[in-house]
C-alpha cells in the first residue's frame, strides 16, 4: 500500500504539534505545609483528604496547566520547621503557590518569604486575625476567631447568659477569641466575671473547672486548638459537674466532627458558633461529604476539610486567571465569590479574608443516632471583625 507524501507530512505535523504542546504545558506546583505526624496529625489528614475530593471532582488541570501538590510535614506548631519547609518548596521545588498552615506561628513564619518570592499563600486554618497583615500575599479560606467568637458572644447575651467566664488557650488565637467574645457579650449587657488563660499544651483541666464553678458564672466560653485539648476540655466540663450545675457551654470548635463521637452523649446540648457543620443542608455539601466517604471511608468532614477544599478552589481560580504570576493571582482573588459546602463565600478585597455565614449550632442526635452539630441560627456574610487596616 502506498502512502502519499502529504499523509506522511500531515502525520509528522500532528506528532510535532503534540510534542510541542506536551513540552510547553506547564506544571504548576502547590506546596502544602501542615502537620502530618504527631498528636496533631489530624490537620494534615483533613487537608489532604479534602484536596483529594476537590481534585476528584474538578480534575488536576486548570486552563491546560497540570497541578501538582507537594506535601511538607512540620510536626505541629513549629515556626522554624514551617519556614524551612517553605524555603525548600520555594527554592528547590519551585512552587508557585503555598497553602495549608494549621497553626498561627507556622503561617507567620513564612510571611517574609512570600514578599521575596511573590508567591500567594492560602491559609486553610490558622485563625489569628493579624496574620493577613504580615504579608500582602496571604489569603485565608478558613475563618478568624473574631469572626466566629463575636457572634456567639452577642447571641449568648441575648439568650439568657448574664455572667460568663472565658477560658482560652494562652496564645494569639485564644486571646483573639477572648477579646471578641468579651466585647460582644459586654456590649449586649453581659458581664465577664473572670478570664482564664490556659497553657496551650495542657490536657488537665480539672483545676480550671473548679475555678469556673466557684466564680458564680452561669456560663463558660471556651477556645482551645482543635484536637486533644478540645476533647479533654469538653470532657472535663461534664465530668467536673459544670453541666449538672447549670453552667452553660459556649464554644467554637470544641465539638469538632472528628472528636464529637468520642465525647458521646455528654456533648448533647453544647452550643458552638462556627462557619461549617458536616450536616449543613445544601446539595453541594452533601456531594462533598459523599465524595469524601467514597475516597476515604470512615473520614468525617470538618472545618479543616472545608478550609482546604475552598482553599484549593481559590488556588484553581487564581491559576485560571494568572497562571504562576503571584501578584496577578492576588489581584484576581480579591472579590472572588462562589458557593462553598459551607454556604456562600467571598474574598474580601481589603483583608483578603473569606466573608461567610456563621452558624450557631447545638449538638444533637440524628435520626440514625449520630451526633451532629445542628445549625439553628445563621448570621449572614460575616467579615473578619478583627481586621483593622
Predicted local confidence at residue 204, as pLDDT: 92
All residue ranges of the chain with pLDDT < 50 are: 1-24
Gap between the Cα atoms of 75 and 109, Å rounded: 15
Model pLDDT, residue 321? 98
pLDDT digits (tens, 9 = 90+) for 70-105: 999 999 999 999 999 999 999 999 999 999 999 999
> Distance of CA 163 to CAs 113, 174, 240, 254, 281, Å?
45, 20, 19, 21, 33
Determine the pLDDT at residue 10. 42
Q: How far are the Cα atoms of 43, 61, 348, 349, 356 from residue 380, in angstroms, in the given order? A: 27, 33, 14, 18, 7
Residue 180: which residues within 8 A CB-CB, separation 6 or more? 145, 146, 149, 150, 153, 385, 386
How would you class 2 by CB atoms within 10 Å of its CB: exposed for 0-12, middle for 13-18, buried for 19 or more? exposed
For the purposes of burial, counting CB atoms within 10 Å of the CB of 107, is it exposed (0-12), middle (13-18) or buried (19 or more)?
buried
Burial group, residue 202, by CB count within 10 angstroms (0-12, 13-18, 19+): middle
User: Which residues have CB under 8 Å from 271's CB, separation 6+?
Assistant: 152, 156, 248, 249, 250, 251, 360, 361, 362
DSSP symbol at 63? T
Q: What is the rounded CA–CA span in Å between residue 365 and residue 91?
A: 49
Domain ranges across the chain? 24-143+281-352, 146-274+359-382
Can you name the CATH fold of 24-143+281-352? Rossmann fold (3.40.50)
Specify the CATH class of 146-274+359-382 in words. Answer: alpha beta
Please state the length of the chain.
Answer: 389
Q: Which H or E run includes 249?
A: strand 248-251
The per-residue pLDDT for range 267-318, each reduced to its tens digit, is: 999 999 999 999 999 999 999 999 999 999 999 999 999 999 999 999 999 9
Distance of CA 72 to CAs 19, 114, 326, Å?
Answer: 32, 17, 21
- Answer yes or no: same fold for 24-143+281-352 and 146-274+359-382: yes
Q: What pLDDT, on a 0 to 100 scale, did the predictor assign at position 389?
A: 56
* Helix residue ranges, H only, the chain: 5-24, 42-58, 79-91, 104-108, 111-117, 145-158, 172-187, 206-214, 228-239, 260-263, 283-295, 303-322, 326-333
Amino acid at each position: 500500500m502506498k502512502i502519499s507524501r502529504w499523509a506522511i507530512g500531515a502525520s509528522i505535523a500532528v506528532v510535532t504539534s503534540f510534542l510541542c504542546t506536551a513540552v510547553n504545558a506547564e506544571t504548576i506546583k502547590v506546596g502544602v505545609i501542615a502537620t502530618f505526624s504527631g498528636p496533631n496529625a489530624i490537620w494534615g489528614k483533613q487537608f489532604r483528604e479534602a484536596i483529594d475530593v476537590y481534585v476528584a471532582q474538578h480534575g488536576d488541570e486548570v486552563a491546560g496547566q497540570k497541578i501538582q501538590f507537594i506535601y511538607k510535614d512540620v510536626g505541629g506548631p513549629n515556626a522554624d520547621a514551617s519556614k524551612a519547609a517553605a524555603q525548600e518548596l520555594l527554592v528547590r521545588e519551585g512552587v508557585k503557590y503555598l497553602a495549608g498552615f494549621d497553626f498561627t506561628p507556622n503561617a507567620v513564619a513564612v510571611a517574609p518569604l512570600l514578599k521575596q518570592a511573590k508567591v500567594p499563600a492560602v491559609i486553610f486554618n490558622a485563625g489569628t486575625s493579624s496574620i493577613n497583615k504580615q504579608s500582602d500575599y496571604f489569603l485565608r479560606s478558613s475563618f478568624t476567631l473574631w469572626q466566629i467568637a463575636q457572634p456567639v458572644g452577642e447571641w449568648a447575651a441575648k439568650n439568657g447568659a448574664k455572667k460568663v467566664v472565658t477560658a482560652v488557650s494562652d496564645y494569639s488565637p485564644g486571646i483573639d477569641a477572648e477579646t471578641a467574645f468579651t466585647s460582644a457579650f459586654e456590649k449586649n449587657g453581659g458581664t465577664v466575671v473572670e478570664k482564664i488563660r490556659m497553657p496551650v499544651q495542657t490536657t488537665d483541666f480539672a483545676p480550671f473547672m473548679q475555678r469556673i464553678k466557684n466564680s458564680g458564672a452561669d456560663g463558660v466560653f471556651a477556645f482551645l486548638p482543635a484536637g486533644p485539648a478540645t476533647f479533654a476540655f469538653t470532657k472535663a466540663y461534664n465530668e467536673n459537674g459544670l453541666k449538672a450545675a447549670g453552667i452553660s457551654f459556649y464554644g467554637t470548635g470544641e465539638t469538632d466532627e472528628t472528636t464529637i463521637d468520642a465525647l458521646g452523649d455528654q456533648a448533647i446540648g453544647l452550643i458552638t458558633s462556627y462557619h461549617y457543620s458536616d450536616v449543613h443542608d445544601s446539595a453541594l455539601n452533601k456531594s462533598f461529604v459523599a465524595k469524601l466517604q467514597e475516597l476515604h471511608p470512615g473520614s468525617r468532614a470538618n472545618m479543616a476539610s472545608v478550609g482546604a477544599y475552598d482553599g484549593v478552589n481559590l488556588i484553581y481560580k487564581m491559576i485560571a486567571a494568572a497562571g504562576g504570576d503571584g501578584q496577578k493571582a492576588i489581584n484576581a482573588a480579591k472579590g472572588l465569590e462562589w458557593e462553598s459546602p459551607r454556604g456562600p463565600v467571598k474574598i474580601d478585597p481589603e483583608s483578603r479574608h473569606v466573608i461567610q455565614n456563621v452558624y450557631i449550632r447545638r449538638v444533637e442526635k440524628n435520626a440514625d443516632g449520630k451526633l451532629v452539630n445542628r445549625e439553628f441560627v445563621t448570621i449572614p456574610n460575616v467579615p473578619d471583625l478583627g481586621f483593622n487596616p
